[in-house]
Amino acid sequence: MGGGVAQSFNIYLLIVFLLLLCLHESCCTPSNYLKGSVMMDKRVDALLPENSPTAAPLPLLPLLAPSPLTPFTNSTVPKLSGLCMLNFTAVGSMMSVTSTDCMAGFAPYLANVVCCPQLEAILVILIGQSSKYTNTFALNGTLATHCLSDIEKILVSQGANDSLPNICSIHPSNLTEGSCPVNDVSGFESTVDTSNLLAACGKIDAVNECCEQVCQNAISEAAKKLSLKVYDFLSLDGTHTLSDHSTRVSDCRSIVLRWLASKLDPSHAKEILRGLSNCKINKVCPLDFPNMSHLIKGCSNGISNQTACCIAVNSYVSRLQRQSFVTNLQALNCAASLALKLRKANISENIYNMCDIGLKDFSLQAGTQESGCLLPSLPSDVIFDQSAGVTFLCDLNDNIPAPWPSTSQLPASSCNKTVKIPALPAAASGQSRLDITYQDSLLLLVASAAFTILV
């Protein structure tokens, strides 16, 4: 009984602390919120375990500033061109999800993992679904321009960033057939083994697909078959130009994805497309590494001055934290990439261990948390709730020290079963479901309400 009272008292204390924290100017000023949290100096956690926890990490939903909420509660009716024949109503709920994933203030920071993959998926699904009555998997240049403009207007009216085409490098040409010689339904289905393609991609294992590549191989095979049709056309009409083969296969891959989207319901298609995109996303580090001369200078000479080195390391890492949120697996790649650059500069000491650098230090710092938010390696969406506000899933309790490579080469792929990557994040090691404790949910709900009331 006494333990329960003490636990309740601790919860109330934490709630009061959060309320008081929100009253502080640096927390409640919308224009300074993100800047203050991103530029926050790295805090050294003396309790960080030397070895990573083996249990599955407990996810936490970090609070975002209230400023992005306004567009969602004051949606406008966009004035569309009237020339785009895509059926926006059929994917209305998915358009809303896309708007939330690409919310105005945070789209640049969620672009790589959440916003742009979702936007690309909605474009594929819209064209795929429209093929049921247009019998084509591509738009001509004029329609593509009108449709992309209409899509942007709809998303912006629901609170999305008004620069999505620039943020995600989306152009009207992305809605056309590009250089793929086949874009009609009958031509596609007479060229590709559609039964094999649907069997491989109708349902994918979001965890194992990235390594086993069952669906990805089927898509590549179908794209290659479509690309080869150009030679048939060349034999009939010498006016066709032969584009670069790799570009043609890439363009045909878009046609294959649109065909898949036409055969699946929109929500199922989105699941498949986001799963495939995350396979690509998690292979690389999305961060740009700025000039590191100051870092190299501070950590040279055999680490003769550890304090100066760690100051330089923390200063450099804080600059990386201003770029974007990254996934667990991306953080592994970023840590390895930075370490290799330092090794090439003759810094062989494990400065990650010496300066207490963890994987979360490579991601944007979330809210008032003491360390960065690592997004799950599996696809996730931002969630908007009228009462709880805007939240997204983070593996904040996954305290993994950044690994320092023992060689001057990038570490082997996580798909190599003979290679043991330290404390691989739960979502990447076979667990696809992450639970939120009741206590966490309660505290987040109260704190989010406090943000809304106080601002």
For residue 453, give the 3-state DSSP assignment.
helix
For the CA atoms of 168, 40, 425, 213, what is the dihedral angle to 10 degrees?
10
pLDDT digits (tens, 9 = 90+) for 245-284: 889 999 999 999 999 999 999 999 999 999 999 999 999 9
Query: Average per-residue pLDDT in the chain?
Result: 77
Kindly indicate the confidence band of residue 357, based on its pLDDT and cuts at 50, 70 and 90.
Answer: very high
Identify the pLDDT of residue 413. Answer: 67
- The residue that leads in pLDDT, 74 or 402, is 402
Pick from 400, 438, 431, 392: nearest CA to 102: 392
Kindly indicate the confidence band of residue 422, based on its pLDDT and cuts at 50, 70 and 90.
Answer: very low
The mean per-residue pLDDT over the stretch 334-343 comes to 94
pLDDT at 5 over 80: no
Where is average pLDDT lowest: 36-50, 360-374, 393-407?
36-50
pLDDT at 399 over 80: no
Identify the pLDDT of residue 365. Answer: 80
Q: Phi and psi (nearest 5°) for 112?
A: -65, -40
Residue 12 burial (CB < 10 Å; 0-12/13-18/19+)?
Answer: exposed
Q: For the chain, give every domain's residue range.
A: 2-67+285-454, 69-281
CA distance 204 to 314: 40
Q: How long a stretch of residues is the chain?
A: 455
pLDDT at 69 over 50: no
pLDDT at 312 over 90: yes
Spell out where 280-394 has E strands.
Answer: 326-327, 374-375, 383-385, 389-391
Kindly indicate the confidence band of residue 389, based on its pLDDT and cuts at 50, 70 and 90.
Answer: confident
Identify the pLDDT of residue 410. Answer: 65
Mean pLDDT is highest, among 20-24, 60-64, 274-278, 346-350, for 274-278
CA distance 408 to 416: 18
CA distance 105 to 65: 9
Chain position carrying tokens 């006016």: 239
The mean per-residue pLDDT over the stretch 15-23 comes to 45
C-beta pairs of 294-299 under 8 Å, 24+ apart in sequence: 295/342, 296/342, 296/345, 296/347, 299/342, 299/347, 299/349, 299/351
CA distance 352 to 358: 7
pLDDT at 20 over 80: no
Residue 365's beta-bridge partner residues? 372
The mean per-residue pLDDT over the stretch 16-23 comes to 44
The mean per-residue pLDDT over the stretch 118-129 comes to 97
pLDDT digits (tens, 9 = 90+) for 205-233: 988 999 999 999 999 999 999 999 877 66
Share of the chain above pLDDT 70, in %: 68
Residue 184's beta-bridge partner residues? 136
Identify the pLDDT of residue 184. Answer: 96
Identify the pLDDT of residue 86. Answer: 94
Angle at 130 between CA 129 and CA 131, to 5 degrees: 90
Chain position carrying tokens 């990557």: 421
pLDDT at 237 over 60: no
pLDDT at 197 over 90: yes
pTM here? 0.75
Tokens read off for 143: 């329609």
Identify the pLDDT of residue 405. Answer: 86
Angle at 388 between CA 386 and CA 394, to 5 degrees: 130
